[in-house]
Amino acid sequence: MKPSVEQMLEAMQLALREKVSPVVTDQWAASALRSVDVILNHLQARTPVEGPMLYEDNRDLAAVLDGAGGLSLAGEVSSEGAVLTEALAGFAADVVAMAQGYPAVAVLSALNVRGRFLLDDLLRVCHARKGQEAAEQLHVALRAYLDRHVEREQPFFFPTYVGRPV
């Protein structure tokens, strides 16, 4: 039987805890082992859900960024130096393409990072245009997305930083 990624992470963690940690006497090495234990907790929580979470987050992010259409973005440039409207359209097209086939987690992650850079760009525009109704509405939508994003990612971090094995 082929072990799952989660089972392999759990086996590594168990070996480190039972075989390596008890014989380590150096404080720095013991500290490094505790850090590895925390990272393994994180990976056990993250691995089975990261792909679906990123897929859903990218779709949500694309819908929110599409809401920028009500705001005139003429002359606005993205943080990467592209025309912001073109960068937003390119991101939206890539999210649509993402739904074709089975994207790898690395592809989903790169797309998500790109979208969040665009979200940052739009937050800056909203801040610069504070008081304009369209900017205020977009700002509310962007903040709501960020709340949903944090909620989606929370399961990655809760087991990691409370110190219990997953």
pLDDT above 60 for 165 = no
pLDDT score at 160: 62
pLDDT above 80 for 59 = yes
DSSP collapsed to 3 states, the chain = CCCCHHHHHHHHHHHHHHHHHHHCCCHHHHHHHHHHHHHHHHHHHHCCCHHHHHHHHHHHHHHHHHHHHHCCCCCCECCCCCEHHHHHHHHHHHHHHHCCCCCCHHHHHHHHHHHHHHHHHHHHHHHHCCCCHHHHHHHHHHHHHHHHHHHHHHHHHHHHHCCCCC
| Amino acid at the residue 47 | T
51 contacts 105 by C-beta, under 8 angstroms = yes
Determine the length of the chain.
Answer: 166
166 contacts 150 by C-beta, under 8 angstroms = no
User: Tens of pLDDT along 72-130?
Assistant: 888 888 888 888 889 999 999 999 998 888 899 999 999 999 999 999 999 999 999 99
Collect contacts of 108-111 with beta carbons under 8 A, ≥24 apart: 108/51, 108/54, 108/55, 108/58, 109/50, 109/54, 111/54, 111/58
pLDDT score at 16: 93
122 contacts 65 by C-beta, under 8 angstroms = yes
Domain boundaries, the chain: 5-48, 50-152
